[in-house]
Structure 1
Amino acid sequence: MSNIKSSQKHAIKSKKRRNHNFSRKSMLRTFMKKFSSLINTGDLVKIKNLFHKLQSLLDRFSRKGLIHKNKASRHKSRLFLKIKHLSGYTKK
């Protein structure tokens, strides 16, 4: 570690931020896995509730810069397509 006091503080802050961000990304991956397992069960009510929570998380994390906004958009789009396919919705 550096000898300069301010850079030592910066290193500590960086480590805290990294751990916090890692925790948030882990939470996001856990929600994605829960969603995938719910898709396999086919319970539409639970799936839609989890989708709304997941959509909110993706938007929040993209606003904060934890993930890129295009990545959040891609995930939301793919998840919605899975719900759409599961519910049997067809375009008129």
Structure 2
Amino acid sequence: MANSPQSKKRARQAVRRTDVNKARRSRIRTYLRKVEEAIASGDQAAAKAALQAAQPELMRGVTKGVVHKNTASRKMSRLSSRVKALG
């Protein structure tokens, strides 16, 4: 349990950051799911549009520290190759 005023404040901040990061991660997953669904439907145009919408969201997660840079790059690479394979 936090005892000093600084550690109490840090505990409050951690709760706030956790909520914000959870929302960001959820938002990223939603965009990625939309790309997956577009790929599954077989519509390359929709998949390409969904991928272009997902890319900045994923990279924003990197700058905010929610996702590691290499993880985001790997996801983008794998998704883009799957979208490309539809054509």
| TM-score normalized with structure 2 length | 0.88
> What runs of 5+ residues in structure 2 fail to find an aligned partner?
none
In the other structure, the counterpart of 1:35 is 35
2:16 equivalent to 1:16: yes
Paired residue type of 2:12: I
Question: Considering only aligned residues, what root-mean-square deviation do their CA atoms show, in Å?
Answer: 1.3
Map Cα deviations across residues 50-74 of structure 1 (whole Å, 9 max, x no partner).
Answer: 1011111111111222111110110
Residues paired across the two proteins, number: 87
2:67 equivalent to 1:67: yes
Paired residue type of 1:42: G
In the other structure, the counterpart of 2:2 is 2
* Percent identical: 37
2:80 equivalent to 1:80: yes
> What runs of 5+ residues in structure 1 fail to find an aligned partner?
88-92
Find the residue that maps to 2:65 and give its secondary structure. Answer: coil
Residues of 2 paired with 1:8 and 1:63: CA distance?
Answer: 27
* Bigger CA radius of gyration: 1
Flag as ranges the 4+ runs of structure 1 deviating above 6 A: none
| TM-score normalized with structure 1 length | 0.84
Q: Larger relative contact order (C-alpha < 8 A, sep ≥ 6)?
A: 2
